[in-house]
Chain A
Amino acid sequence: MTAIQETLAPVAIDHADHHHEHPSWLAHHFDDAEQQYDSGKLGMWLFLVTEVLFFSGMFCAYALYRNRNPEVFEFCSSFLNEKLGAINTGVLLFSSLTMAWAVRAAQLRQHQLLVGMLGATLGCAAIFLGVKAVEYSHKMEIGLLPGKLYVAQLDGVHGPHKGYLEFICTIPAICTALCAAYAIYAFATKSLFHQRVAGPMLVAGLCFFGGVGLGQYLEAQEEASKGHGGHGGHQEHHAMVEGHVEHGSHEHAAASESAHTAENKTASEMAANASIAMGGSPDVYIAPNELRTPNADVNQRSMAGLFFSIYYCMTGVHAIHIIGGMIVITWLIVKAARQEFHEQYFGPVDNVGLYWHLVDFIWIYLFPLLYLIT
């Protein structure tokens, strides 16, 4: 007998006539299924409230510093790959669809479909993280790091720091390997239950690397189009730096003037020059504080660093939520493979669904706020 059949215990539908005969899925302190469902759901909504307020702190920081230095945000946003962001948005929206579908499947006792939908959600989450890994590693390589770690030279070539992607991918690789081992075990033992759990997990693990591949392909494309003579964000950034030169103080103008006359007038070079002028020999030179000049050069740790702090905090905390969601979805897959859900007991699917949609909800705002600043 397979495990799945063992767990197919007949589901008692509580008619609430017998208070003391609680079915196994109904906790002892609840009177009936609806009370349990309502409690769980209200609890989850309240938890989502805390999530909203938790993220609001970072949105507040974002709004504050964007309002203070809009030019920094414009400049820095041009380093974010819009295509990757858009693809990730689509992936998350699709995972929301499959999650909502999973709730429907649970309510209608479509057990196979439920496992499939949850697996699809898990896979989408993995793709999202894979793309994110490429984004992060690419930015770290050229020194677009948060706060005081910001070291971007913006000289057009990748910085000296390599190996971030490999580092980030270590843990997913180990997880995928474990999933694969589990899948081999499941197929070897011919346990239908284990197969239903291991299948989606392995697919999700592979999806992560699919996401990495996709991300790298798109990043390479972006790079190529950049090499073909200024395109997209970097071109705008060029124009912007020029604008600053016109309005800037004399030193700034002088520093950038030399950049202007250089043979290659790419924006990144100019920015690099400016960067050296401002902080090139920081060990001996400590500039006195000066009053805020609105058109101060933006490619410095003191300005761009703050944007990337906010970028990493927001997307990082969001990614942590994705990882948390993947863990609970895996738990759901186990329960779904045991065919535990039915129209009286689908609260866990519904509540994890609510959580998952909230993660999507946050991303819906993060995407335009971070990637689409023009």
Chain B
Amino acid sequence: MSVLDRPIATPGYSEADSYPSHHFLNHSKGFLSWALTLDHKRIGLMYLVGVMASFALGGTFALMIRIHLWNFKDGWLSNQTYNQVFTLHGAIMVFLFIIPSIPAALGNFLLPVMLGTKDVAFPRLNLGSFYLWVTGLILFLTALSVTGLDTGWTFYTPYSIETQQGGAVLAATFGVFVLGFSSIFTGLNFIVTINTMRPPGMSWFRMPLFLWALYATSIIQVLATPVLGITVLLLSAERLLGIGIFDPKLNGDPVTFQHFFWFYSHPAVYIMILPAMGIISELMSVHCHKGIFGYRMIAYSSIAIALFGFLVWGHHMFTSGMADVTTIVFSALTFTVSIPSAIKVFNWLGTMYQGTVSLNTPMLYALAFIFLFTIGGLTGLPLGALSTDMHFHDTYFVVAHFHYVMMGGTLVAFLGGVFHWWPKMTGRMFNDKLGIASAIIVFVGFNLTFLPQFVLGSRGMPRRYATYLPEFQPLHQLSTIGSITLGSGLLLALIVLLMSLVNGKKAPRNPWGGATLEWMCSSPPPHDNFSSAPTVGDPYDFSTIEYDARVGGYVKRT
């Protein structure tokens, strides 16, 4: 069955085209047809379930932290347990949730469809990286259940060498190693797919900006992640054999470990945020029904962020005792990366100007993203400036800053993206009113949780503290209240999505009015995406896309 052979809004148009009886979800049946699938869409969906489960786990830990911190002392967790909880919160959120969330889950599903190909270049490798991710998950669960990891997600030496939770450190470092390769293979697959498999007509500058963002992300994944691999490998050897490269007791250098670690982990921040920016570019244009402002600027700034992102890792180490010259150079470079991010924010606003803004769930998440990400970005300025960073480093100011970027940025964009492409992935529409309610609750809860933490940090509250001075208690309690609000908003979002599977309307081909290729497929897409190469047009040409009440969605005027 060909999807694109027929124009959509011709008189011969039938509903059967829009609501296909045969699609990738029912293409084959049985457990093995999923477990051994090579279909990028099924792999993407499996990732989606996996990362959401990881997020639920990490989120539970987050709530445990916040509830513990309600009292300034004698919280309900012991110090040791608290340390393990915040470590696992960080490690699970970073390695199991944020890094694979958008690229591996949404990216896997969407990249070939948006590009107009049948699959990614290496489908077996794709399935392999999913199972590597699962292995990593199992190793993390081992670290969690057997002893409890207490090193902080950064595994700083020599603490990670000396801690008594050796088994957990080994399991977790090996887990990180495996997850790293999962991430590398995903990135490698995407780069090759975009480079060699674009169909006729899909030139670089006809690619949707989400694909540009994924491409930039993949570059980082391929270049940075191996260094993490060798770092955790050396750390495991450190624990097993005592090789001493990072152990000051054996004349090793712990600051070098930090260099190794952040050479990956700072670019990893852009692995997390770049695809989120890509999603927002899609969401803004589709839900404003208007071509994106400054397409090329956004595309170039994605690549610029990816490359500049490699030059700034030292700003995690300003107080670690780096040499002064390195410190100043890293500070200067840090500011270079702020400019492309600022450009993107302005471009998104420019897209809204004179558009037709549909205030639905994905759009509200996108607007929330812009608000929260701007705060996150701007609060990076006092952290990049050296003298103020001497005060803010390792305080709650940093905690609030990166939560604004990582959670207010990536998570909110991820949710926006999930809502946006949910009809495409599952073929069902969700309840938009409840979705909007979830977006508003998440927004309010988020700010209530993390705004007080800026104040806490600037007043000197250090991070990773199980107990604190009583003067900080009111702000901590405000934050805890916010976190519960936030948690309930996220729960509502999940319920809205799950409810749609039970009683959601069937989704039309193009429910939002997008112009990229995935909206030319049926919802859900057929097994092979496109039986013949699709006709590629401008991904942001909305002039011919109109609402058609007969199908309850948008169609392309011919």
Per the CB under 8 Å rule, do A and B touch in the complex? yes
Q: Does A374 contact B (CB under 8 A)?
A: no
Residue of A nearest to B118 (CB): A29
Interfacial residues of chain A within 32-66, with CB under 8 A of chain B in the complex: 35, 38-39, 42-43, 46-47, 49-58, 60-61, 64-65
Please tell me if the beta carbons of A54 and B234 are within 8 angstroms of each other in the complex. no
A201 within 8 A of B: no
Beta-carbon contact of A60 and B222 below 8 Å:
no
Is there an interface contact between A148 and B244, defined as CB atoms closer than 8 Å? Answer: yes
**B223 to A53, Cβ gap below 8 A?**
yes
Closest Cβ–Cβ distance, residue A180 to chain B (whole Å): 33
Q: Is the CB of A60 within 8 A of B243?
A: no
* Interface status of B46 (Cβ within 8 A of chain A): no
Which residues of the partner chain A approach B243 to less than 8 Å between Cβ atoms? 146-147, 305-306, 309, 312-313
Contact (Cβ within 8 A) A43 B121: yes
Q: Which residues of B contact A313 (CB under 8 A)?
A: 234, 237, 243, 245
The segment from B192-200, B466-474, B487-495 found at the interface with A is B192-200
Interface string of B187-211 (1 = CB under 8 A from A): 0110111011100000000000000
Residue from the list B117, B122, B230, B241 in contact with A146, Cβ < 8 A: B241
The SS class assigned to the B binding surface is: helix
B32 CB to nearest A CB, Å? 19
Q: Counting CB contacts under 8 A, is B54 at the interface? A: no
> Which residues, 291 to 319 on A, are CB-close (under 8 Å) to B?
301-303, 305-306, 309-310, 312-313, 317
| Residue pair A49, B223 in contact (C-beta under 8 Å) | yes
Query: A28-B118, A43-B121 are contacts. A147–B250 as well, Cβ < 8 Å?
Result: yes
Contact with A along B205-242 (1 / 0, CB 8 A): 00000000000000000111111011101100110011
Select which of B189, B197, B238, B242 is within 8 A of A35 by beta carbon: B197
Closest to B121 in A: A39
Q: Which of B119, B237, B238 has the most CB of A within 10 A?
A: B237
- Identify A306's interface contact among B119, B233, B251, B260, CB under 8 A: B251
Cα–Cα, bound, A224→B513 (Å) = 83
CA distance A313 to B251 in the complex (A): 17
Q: How far is the CB of A352 from chain B (nearest CB, A)?
A: 15
**Chain A residues whose CB sits within 8 angstroms of the CB of B195 once the complex forms:** 42
Which residues of chain B have C-beta atoms less than 8 A from A19's C-beta? 532
Min distance, Cβ A151 to any Cβ of chain B, angstroms:
12
Contact A301 B250 (CB under 8 A): yes
Judged by a CB distance under 8 angstroms, whether A149 is at the interface is yes
Bound together, the chains give a CA A47 to CA B129 distance in angstroms of 14
Determine the distance from Cα of A58 to Cα of B192 in the docked complex, in whole angstroms: 28
A194 to B: closest C-beta gap in Å: 26
CB neighbours of B197 from chain A (8 A) = 29-30, 35, 39
Which of chain B's residues has its CB closest to A64's CB?
B256
Least distance between A39 CB and chain B CB atoms (Å):
4
Q: Which of B231-270 contact A (CB under 8 A)?
A: 231, 233-234, 237-238, 241-245, 247, 250-253, 256, 260
Taking a contact as CB atoms under 8 Å apart, the answer to whether A306 and B184 are in contact is no
Cβ of B553 under 8 Å from chain A: no
- The answer, among B226, B238, B242, B251, for a CB contact under 8 Å with A51, is B226
Given contacts A54-B229, A303-B251, A313-B237, contact A147 B244 (CB under 8 A): yes
Cβ–Cβ contact B252 & A49, under 8 A: no
Shortest Cβ gap from A47 to chain B (Å): 6
Contact assessment for B227 and A57 in the assembled complex, using a CB-CB cutoff below 8 Å? yes
Task: List the A side residues contacting B247 at CB < 8 Å.
Answer: 147
Residues of B within 8 A of A305 (CB): 243-244, 250
Tell me whether B382 is interfacial, beta carbon within 8 Å.
Answer: no
Q: List residues of chain B with CB within 8 A of the CB of A49.
A: 222-223
Q: A29-B123, A57-B260 are in contact. Are A46 and B191 (CB under 8 A)?
A: yes
With A35-B197, A54-B230: A310-B245 Cβ-Cβ less than 8 Å: yes
Query: Given contacts A38-B196, A50-B225, A51-B226, is CB(A302)–CB(B251) below 8 Å?
Result: yes
Least CB distance from B200 to A in Å reads 10
CB distance from B242 to the nearest CB of A (A): 4
Chain B residues lying within 8 Å of A50, measured Cβ to Cβ, are 184, 188, 222-223, 225-226
Residue in B closest to A52 when the chains form the complex, CB atoms: B226
Interfacial residues of chain B within 78-112, with CB under 8 A of chain A in the complex: none
Contacts of A310 in B (CB 8 A): 245
Residues of A within 8 Å of B196, CB to CB, are 35, 38-39, 42
| Contact between chains at A57 and B230 (CB < 8 Å) | yes
C-alpha gap A46/B532 in the complex (Å): 29
B192 near A39 with CB under 8 A, answer: yes
By a CB distance below 8 angstroms, the chain A residues around B122 are 39, 43
B188 touches A46 (CB 8 A): yes
Q: How far is the CA of A343 from the CA of B193 in the complex (A)?
A: 23
For A53, list chain B residues within 8 Å (CB): 223-224, 226-227
Complex Cα spacing A54 to B247, Å: 20
Residues of B within 8 A of A148 (CB): 241-242, 244, 250
Q: Whose C-beta in chain B lies nearest to the C-beta of A43? A: B192
Q: Of A28, A64, A309, which contacts B244 at CB under 8 A?
A: A309
CA distance A77 to B244 in the complex (A): 18
> Can you give 19 A-B contacts (C-beta < 8 A)?
A29-B197, A39-B193, A43-B188, A43-B189, A47-B188, A49-B223, A50-B184, A54-B227, A57-B231, A57-B234, A58-B234, A60-B256, A60-B260, A65-B245, A146-B242, A147-B243, A148-B244, A313-B237, A313-B245
Residues of B within 8 A of A (CB): 117-119, 121-123, 125, 184, 188-189, 191-193, 195-197, 222-227, 229-231, 233-234, 237-238, 241-245, 247, 250-253, 256, 260, 532
